[in-house]
Chain A
Amino acid sequence: MSRAGSMQAGLRGWFRRHAYSLFSSIGALVRAPVASGMTVGVLAIALCLPLGLYTALANLNAMNTDLERLESISVFLDTDLDATGARRLASSLATSPDVLTVDPISPDAGMRELAGATGLDDLELGEVPLPWVLEVTPAREGDVGGLAGRLRALDGIDQVIVDLGWLRRLEALLGVFARLVELVAVLFGLAVLFVIANTIRAEIQSRHEEIEVMALVGATPAWIRRPFLYAGFWMGLLGGLGAWLLVQAGLWMLAGPVRELGASYGTPASLQAPPAALIVGLVVGSGVLGIAGAAVAVSRQIHRINP
């Protein structure tokens, strides 16, 4: 046989051995469907906790941004400013980059609103002089406090009212929650690593006879390890996929209530699914964790048989 021919034969052998390992690893999972199912279930639940928390946090942050957008600044103009002056000021403010919209409210409209809100009629309110008011909606990414400060410094503006109190409190609360989620996500991530390594270790220990038999008939450690590495990969992969499905199911179940919550604020609200890159990372990452866990567990077994 020529040199190239023998190399080709060697390559064919290599492929055959890998194909055998691949199929025998799938065979082992399928032969014990309950045990494999439970292992994958444990991994899926363990993995879905950090992913779910991450998704919850991402959605709360998005919701916070949405709420900030709802927030508007009430700019009370000097009472001597007439409609023309008010509209001119409004259009000049609207060109500012940190302002999304400016909605001028005439004294008459303000009076009607006030009457509606207080239940008093025009007569009772009498001749209270109402100024023009500009309802300024800040741009999405803008600094509301800074904008308010700049508005106060402008000519023709009497008062700027920003009710940021509740928004700040919500933001602070979210900040605490975000830190908490990060902490818990790191802990759960570590737990996942241990769960995978330990699950596969237990799996391998339950198959130590098989490892022994393979070593006895002349299998190399690499050959023995391979199906377990594949199995670890499959379990990690399926666990990651399961976690994703669980989170997706959670999102689906929460979609209705969230829509109702959004409706109560007068804004369409929906939950965002975790980004595709994160899901791919999670699924592949858990597969790799599975391989790592399996590698550790198998090498311990092999050392016992090859003195």
Chain B
Amino acid sequence: MIVFEHVAKRYAGGVQALSDVNFRLEPGEMAFLTGHSGAGKSTLLRLIALLERPSRGQVLFEGRNVGRLSRRQIPALRRRVGVIFQDHKLLTDRTVFDNVALPLHIAGLSFAEIKRRVGAALDQVGLREKSGMQVPVLSGGEQQRVGIARAIVAKPPLLLADEPTGNLDPALSEELMRLFCTLNELGTTVLIATHDLYLVRQLGRRTLVLDHGRMVDDTVPGAPRTMGPEVLR
């Protein structure tokens, strides 16, 4: 699903965000990406969704070199990757329904189909009854779940989450993580950037560790629950 080969990212101004990162994420896998703040977690996710282009090396998604895609090909890539942002990136002047429906409107689905799928996605995150509400009246956790519903509504094969539990209390965080595990069990590949090491340890999934832009660890603590292939390294 995702392959990083000798990937480096240097921002204008000389900040080296990633250097020589190598890893592989198989279809159906679920992994956490951890590390101190500024270690390059967000940059790594941004390279996959082509919000940035790598300075060196290649990022493959479904066998295609993402860095080489032309501008015209970017939208098609992003429709196959659901991204959940720490700051939600919701349209604050729209209802919950309209926010979740956005990717389906872009795909040009009929309203009946959109209604059905949005309803299903909101069911999954437990927000069906808040469908008609405006985003700003929701709590932080609810807004985060709206973001998740939007990311999964078009059923992308890959889900990326950047600090999805950033501002949530522990109970809510755990609930969210369970939701990601459920989605993974339904077949979606999931990569979650987080510094919530307690939760990561508790869930016992594959964990990639970044330190100052370098991949320093790639482990499966405890008994891995995934049936996917062994970690390649």
- Give the interface of A toward B (CB within 8 A): 12-14, 16-17, 20, 31, 209-210, 212-221, 223, 305-307
User: How far is it, in angstroms, between the C-alpha of A8 and the C-alpha of B71 when the chains are bound?
Assistant: 28
A6 to chain B, nearest CB (A): 13
| B-side contacts of A20, CB under 8 Å | 105
| B-side contacts of A216, CB under 8 Å | 49, 51, 78, 83, 85, 89
| B-side contacts of A14, CB under 8 Å | 108
Q: Report whether B108 and A307 are in contact in the complex, using a CB–CB cutoff of 8 Å.
A: no
Q: Report whether A213 and B90 are in contact in the complex, using a CB–CB cutoff of 8 Å.
A: yes
User: DSSP majority for the A interface?
Assistant: helix
Q: Does B199 contact A (CB under 8 A)?
A: no
User: How far is it, in angstroms, between the C-alpha of A213 and the C-alpha of B108 when the chains are bound?
Assistant: 17
Residue of B nearest to A305 (CB): B51
Given contacts A217-B78, A218-B75, contact A307 B53 (CB under 8 A): yes
Residue of A nearest to B103 (CB): A217
Given contacts A13-B108, A17-B105, contact A218 B76 (CB under 8 A): yes
User: How far is it, in angstroms, between the C-alpha of A14 and the C-alpha of B108 when the chains are bound?
Assistant: 7
Q: Report whether A213 and B89 are in contact in the complex, using a CB–CB cutoff of 8 Å.
A: yes
Among B108, B109, B150, point to the contact of A217 (Cβ < 8 A). Answer: B150
Task: Mark contacts of B42-79 with chain A using CB atoms, 8 A cut-off: 1 yes-contact digit, 0 otherwise.
Answer: 00000001111100000000000000000100111111
A41 to chain B, nearest CB (A): 22
23 A/B residue pairs, CB under 8 Å, sorted by A: A13-B108, A16-B105, A16-B108, A16-B109, A16-B111, A20-B105, A209-B91, A210-B91, A214-B106, A215-B75, A215-B78, A216-B49, A216-B89, A217-B83, A217-B103, A218-B76, A218-B78, A218-B106, A218-B154, A219-B102, A219-B106, A223-B75, A307-B51
Q: Report whether B110 and A12 are in contact in the complex, using a CB–CB cutoff of 8 Å.
A: yes
Q: Does B129 contact A (CB under 8 A)?
A: no
Q: Does B230 contact A (CB under 8 A)?
A: no
| A-side contacts of B109, CB under 8 Å | 13, 16
Q: Report whether B91 and A223 are in contact in the complex, using a CB–CB cutoff of 8 Å.
A: no
